[in-house]
Amino acid sequence: MIIRNAHVFIDGKFNDVDVRYDETGIQEIGKGLTGDEVLDAKGAYLYAGMVDAHCHGGFLRGFNYSTSFKNRGTHEEQVRYLLDRLPSTGVTTVYPTLAIIYPPIKETYEDMRDSVRTIRKVHENYKGAEPLKFHFEHPFPTLDRYLHAGVKPATPELADFIVDGDYSDVGIFGIAPDYENAIEFIDYLVSKGVDPEDGYTNATAEETKIAADHGMNQASHLYNGYKTMHHRTSDPCVGVLLEDRIYAQLTMDGYHVNPSWIKLTIKAKGIDNCYGITDLSGYSGLPDGKNVMDDGSIIDTHDGYNWRPDGHLRSGNMVANEIIRCARDVVGLTMEEVGKLYFENPARCLRLSDRGKIEVGRRSDLVLMDHDYKVLKTIIGGEVYYEAD
């Protein structure tokens, strides 16, 4: 198949080229390609399928099991539903993101381990976005508001338990740099080929640098889950801004992080050291109005966000392509900057060389969008998986 008449995003800019692909991958990129069936993009924008490294769920389903969605099927059914729906938002690869559940449904780390088992079973025979690697977001926080009685000291034995003894598909594992035994724990993660992640922390910039010296190279949705910056103190966000060895995840829906802070981060770190995420929750994708969850809790949904009855933000409600549009229209980034942050940088910052970029030899995971990021067609493994009505 040849895609023609698309604005093709490669290496940070849009190109007037054709793309030939099949089920084995991207075969050729150039002008005037012939000898194959043609898909006329009619001026749409062609990107590599998005790799979302920070996604908890969506559409009233979660990668962690939650009683809020207990009537939406078994956990396995919920995971399969999620993987099937994500391509409609432009996502073709996802890192199922497992976090501490408040209050714990059962013992905190047992919940994570059981979720790992379910998702691994699904990965053996799935449809839709690939659940490529696990992201354990904040099993070991130091910020007071994320602490509870179930949090235990970080040890290699506990990590082994959480991942069920297998690190082959573990991508990101979080620990606050100021946590008890953090450096020894980071060393252990690195020895297993895992990317240690900063976040949920009171650490100083100096503690953040030491963590980077030992291999910490990811920052969970920068500014959210960090001690607030103050000009008289050494803070963890400053440590991330100063440390080019740490890649910053950015949530760019226009509310979780003020647009000026997004621009400051990109200017301070350089755009190649940042990448976009969704941080979708199981509540993302709700209709506007008062939504009653399966456990009786109420979510007030309006203006792209989900609110608790007391007015506290519960989560964003936008899905990937809607967040991407906000990165341009609310944050004020150019389409080229948005393309880098959401469609090329995730794979580069996560050291994925087989996908996440339109390049010969990479997977034929592609997404066609209109100018306002509506998903027109999502191609996975060379086959059209989703097509807009």
Question: Cα–chain-centroid distance for residue 21?
Answer: 26
**pTM score, two decimals?**
0.96
pLDDT for the residue numbered 387: 98
**pLDDT-based confidence at residue 164 (cuts at 50, 70, 90):** very high
pLDDT of 102 higher than 70: no
Rounded percentage of the chain residues whose pLDDT exceeds 90:
88
> What was the pLDDT predicted at 367?
98
**Which pLDDT tens digit goes with each residue over 58-80?**
999 999 988 788 899 999 999 99
Q: What is the pLDDT of residue 148?
A: 81
What's the distance, Cα to Cα, between the start and end of the chain in Å?
21
Q: How confident is the model at residue 295 (pLDDT cuts 50, 70, 90)?
A: confident
The string of pLDDT tens digits covering residues 246-269 is 999 999 999 999 999 999 999 999
Tell me the domains of the chain and their CATH numbers: 2-46+371-387 (2.30.40.10), 51-284+319-356 (3.20.20.140)
Q: Counting Cβ atoms within 10 Å, is residue 192 exposed (0-12), middle (13-18) or buried (19+)? A: middle
Alpha helices in the chain (DSSP H): 75-85, 108-123, 156-162, 182-191, 205-213, 236-242, 259-269, 320-329, 335-339, 345-349
Q: What is the mean pLDDT of residues 215-242?
A: 96
Give CA–CA dist 385/259, Å, rounded: 33
- The pLDDT value recorded for residue 68 is 80
- pLDDT tier, 103 (very low <50, low <70, confident <90, very high otherwise): low
In order, the DSSP letters of 39-72 are: EE-TT-EEEEPEEEEEE-EETTEESS--GGGTTS
pLDDT confidence band for 96 (50 / 70 / 90)? very high
**pLDDT reported for residue 104:** 62
Q: Which of 87-91, 99-103, 187-191 has the lowest mean pLDDT?
A: 99-103
Query: Of 14-18, 66-70, 217-221, 359-363, where does mean pLDDT reach its minimum?
Result: 66-70
Q: Which of the two residues, 221 and 69, has the higher pLDDT score?
A: 221
The per-residue pLDDT for range 120-135, each reduced to its tens digit, is 999 999 999 999 999 9
